[in-house]
Chains A and B, each alone.
Chain A
Amino acid sequence: FPEMSYLSFFCLGPGAGQDVGRSCILVSIAGKNVMLDCGMHMGYNDDRRFPDFSYITQNGRLTDFLDCVIISHFHLDHCGALPYFSEMVGYDGPIYMTHPTKAICPILLEDYRKITVDKKGETNFFTSQMIKDCMKKVVAVHLHQTVQVDEELEIKAYYAGHVLGAAMFQIKVGCESVVYTGDYNMTPDRHLGAAWIDKCRPDLLITESTYATTIRDSKRCRERDFLKKVHETVERGGKVLIPVFALGRAQELCILLETFWERMNLKAPIYFSTGLTEKANHYYKLFITWTNQKIRKTFVQRNMFEFKHIKAFDRAFADNPGPMVVFATPGMLHAGQSLQIFRKWAGNEKNMVIMPGYCVQGTVGHKILSGQRKLEMEGRQILEVKMQVEYMSFSAHADAKGIMQLIRQAEPRNVLLVHGEAKKMEFLKQKIEQEFHVSCYMPANGETTTIFTNPSIPVDISLGLLKRETAIGLLPDAKKPKLMHGTLMMKDNSFRLVSPEQALKELGLAEHQLRFTCRVHIQDPRKEHETVLRVYNHLKGVLKDYSVQHLPDGSITVESILIQATAHSEDQGTKVLLVSWTYQDEELGSYLTSLLKKGLPQGTA
Chain B
Amino acid sequence: YQDLHTFELQAPTRLIEWGRGNRVCVAGYGQSGGNEILQLLPPPTLQVKETQGLCPERDFKVECGGFSDRPVYSLKYVPDTSLLVTSGPPDSSLQVWQVSAEDSDVIKSLSAIPTENGAGQPWAKMATISARAPWVLHGSRLASVQVTEVESRKKVYTAASGSSEELSGLAFLDCNTLLLCCAKGQLCLADVRQPQSPLEAASVPSALCGERWCMGVGRGPQGSDSSSQPVARLSSGGHLTLTDLRRTSESLASARCRVPSPASGAEFLCVSWAPALEGCLAVSGFDGTVHVYDTRSWDGSGGEAEPIFVHKGHAFGGWDSGGSPPLVTAHTWHPQKPRTLLSAASDGSLHVWDWVQSCGKF
Q: Which residues of A contact B (CB under 8 A)?
A: 213-218, 220-222, 224-225, 369, 371, 388-391, 393, 400-401, 404, 423-427, 430-431, 434-435
Contacts and interface: CB of A to CB of B under 8 A. Distances in A.
B315 to A, nearest CB: 15
B60 A391 contact: no
Given A425-B105, A426-B104, A426-B105, A217 B54 contact: no
Nearest to A222: B58
Given A390-B53, A390-B54, A400 B62 contact: yes
B62 A218 contact: no
A221 B1 CA distance: 12
A551 B209 CA distance: 91
Per CB-CB distance, the 6 closest pairs between chain A and chain B, nearest first, are A215-B60, A427-B65, A424-B105, A218-B6, A217-B58, A213-B62
Contacts of A216: 7, 58-59
Nearest to B102: A424
A393 B105 contact: no
A372 to B, nearest CB: 11
Contacts of B63: 213
A241 to B, nearest CB: 15
Nearest to A219: B6
Contacts of A390: 53-55
A460 B53 CA distance: 69
Contacts of A391: 54-57
A215 B56 contact: no
B50 to A, nearest CB: 15
Most buried by B among A213, A216, A434: A213
A103 to B, nearest CB: 33
Contacts of A404: 10
Nearest to A435: B34
Given A369-B56, A388-B53, A389-B54, 12 more contacts: A216-B7, A217-B7, A218-B6, A221-B58, A369-B54, A404-B10, A424-B104, A424-B105, A426-B105, A431-B36, A431-B65, A434-B67
Interface string B58-77: 11111111110000000000
Contacts of B220: none
A215 B54 contact: no
A426 B106 contact: yes
Interface in B88-121: 103-106
A431 B61 CA distance: 16
Chain B CB within 10 Å, residue with most, of A214, A222, A390 = A214
B5 interface: yes
Interface residues of B, number: 31
15 contacts: A215-B9, A215-B60, A217-B43, A218-B8, A220-B6, A221-B5, A224-B4, A390-B55, A391-B54, A393-B59, A401-B10, A423-B105, A424-B103, A427-B62, A427-B66
B40 interface: yes
A215 B7 contact: yes
B55 A215 contact: no
Contact of B59 (A217, A389, A434): A217
Contacts of B66: 427
B60 A389 contact: no
Nearest to B352: A217
Contacts of A222: 58
A470 B104 CA distance: 54
A371 B9 contact: no
A532 to B, nearest CB: 65
A214 B60 contact: yes
Contacts of B106: 426-427, 430
Contacts of B43: 217
A430 B4 contact: no
A222 B7 CA distance: 11
Contacts of B105: 213, 423-427
A393 B57 contact: yes
A362 to B, nearest CB: 16
B40 A221 contact: no
Contacts of B34: 434-435
Contacts of A217: 5-7, 43, 58-59
Q: Which of B40, B54, B61, B104 has the most CB of A within 10 A?
A: B54
A433 to B, nearest CB: 11
A215 B105 CA distance: 16
A218 B66 CA distance: 25
B104 A213 contact: no
